[in-house]
Amino acid sequence: MGIARTSLTGVTHYVQSNAYNGYTLFTPLGTRETMLIDMKGRVVHQWKMPYPPALYGVFLESGNLLYGGHVEKGPLADLKGAGGELIEVDWNGNAVWNYQDRYLHHSFCRLFNGNTMVLRWVQVPKDIAAKVKGGIPGTEKEGIMWGDSFQEVNPRGKVVWKWLAYEHLDPEKDIICPLCPRSQWTEANSFAILSNGDILASFARLNTICIISKSTGDIKWRWGSGGELGHQNGATILENGNILLFDNGTHCVHFSEGYSRVLEVNPATNKMVWEYKDDPWMAFYSAYMSSCQRLPNDNTLICEAATGRIFEVMKSGRIVWEFVNPFSASFDPVYGHNRIIPRAYRYSPEHEGLQGKGFRVFSLFPRRSKI
């Protein structure tokens, strides 16, 4: 069971000898502040951003922050995870790079070659949309079904590679969850780049994660729609070639829902090689967003978005660090007075981007309630 739920905030638990020491980066939903906190929950650095997050920002080895902003007046701004502008700022918040596209959403990834892979919504052509199965009949968005596209963008903002999901998905296999609207076929919410350049993508509405060949565009591997996943998030690739992801556990069949888990899957065998669940299972649950990150000491950092809880578990499932977001966001018509943290990332003090940076404790918040 989590050591704290809503009554405690800040760092509620810390086992120094077992935790992976470092700094944790997150942006609470609906705020314009990206925080870097230390293991005691003290804010040691902060970036003021022009937009609230689509979901998150990541820290680069250059020491810059690459951030997906939610542009409130975008054409699809009412869809969950809507973005609009990618912003790169340096340690001091000075603009370094930006890329505007009103259809950006959810996730992005800086590539080794300096380009950036972005995710954007595109309309599914009507003839293909008509063949798509599943979903609640008649719930297209103003008659339109939206799908996903990956685009590789170079530093000058030029699109150098493009992949359209509807060209490669199979309407017979890639079926929308029967309780989801047909406004989106796929709703990609996270992706990762494999060492060979292929893309690991998570399609929430299909309960499917898949590997897309960079060279041919073909879907080489897909998994999850056989009842394994419930609108998963946070797909990441590990050094051993396995996939770590956050299985939210929503819209699952029968009684097998209402709890989340973090899974490590071997794509060669489709076998689950590691799983984290709480005891009892229901005490760890976020119906939406959320992330997971395998740390160099083999621990896993988990972000349970709905409760604003970030925690680190050992392979055994033992919690060795826990933090509950003490910052409440502005009111959201869907999420209420929430303290959602969509995603979180841990960076070691040895991380290249942190070298030579002068940390200071910015504020007394978040207060430590209990350690």
The CB-of-337 to other proteins minimum distance in angstroms stands at: 5
Which helix (H) or strand (E) is 188 found in, with range? strand 188-193
Establish if 371 lies at the interface with other proteins (CB under 8 A).
Answer: no
- Tokens, residue 136: 């609640």
The conformational region for residue 237 under phi > 0 = left, psi -120 to 50 = alpha, else beta, is beta
Sheet-wide strand order for 243-247: 233-237, 243-247, 261-266, 271-276
Each residue 288-307 as x (binds other proteins by CB under 8 A) or -, in order, gives x-----------------xx
The stretch among 98-106, 255-263, 290-298, 351-359 that binds other proteins (CB under 8 A) is 255-263
Residue (235 or 252) nearer to other proteins, CB: 252
The stretch among 121-129, 275-283, 315-323, 342-350 that binds other proteins (CB under 8 A) is 275-283
Establish if 3 lies at the interface with other proteins (CB under 8 A).
Answer: yes
Q: Report which residue type is found at 109.
A: C
Each residue 186-225 as x (binds other proteins by CB under 8 A) or -, in order, gives ----------------------------------------
Angle at 246 between CA 241 and CA 252, to 5 degrees: 120
Q: Which of 114, 143, 226, 280 binds other proteins (CB under 8 A)?
A: 280
81 vs 2: CA distance, rounded Å = 27
Q: Quick one: CA torsion of 286, 183, 106, 315, rounded to 10 degrees?
A: 40
Q: β-strands 116-123, 104-110: how paired?
A: antiparallel
Residue (22 or 41) nearer to other proteins, CB: 41
Q: β-strands 84-89, 95-100: how paired?
A: antiparallel
Whether the Cβ atoms of residue 264 and residue 275 lie closer than 8 Å to each other:
yes
Q: How many residues bind other proteins, per CB under 8 A?
A: 46
Establish if 357 lies at the interface with other proteins (CB under 8 A).
Answer: no
Q: Which of 63, 171, 181, 353 binds other proteins (CB under 8 A)?
A: 181
Give the largest CA-CA distance in the chain. 58
Residue (137 or 358) nearer to other proteins, CB: 137
What is the contact surface with other proteins in residues (CB under 8 A)? 1-8, 80, 136, 139, 178-181, 231, 250-259, 277-283, 285-288, 306-307, 334-340
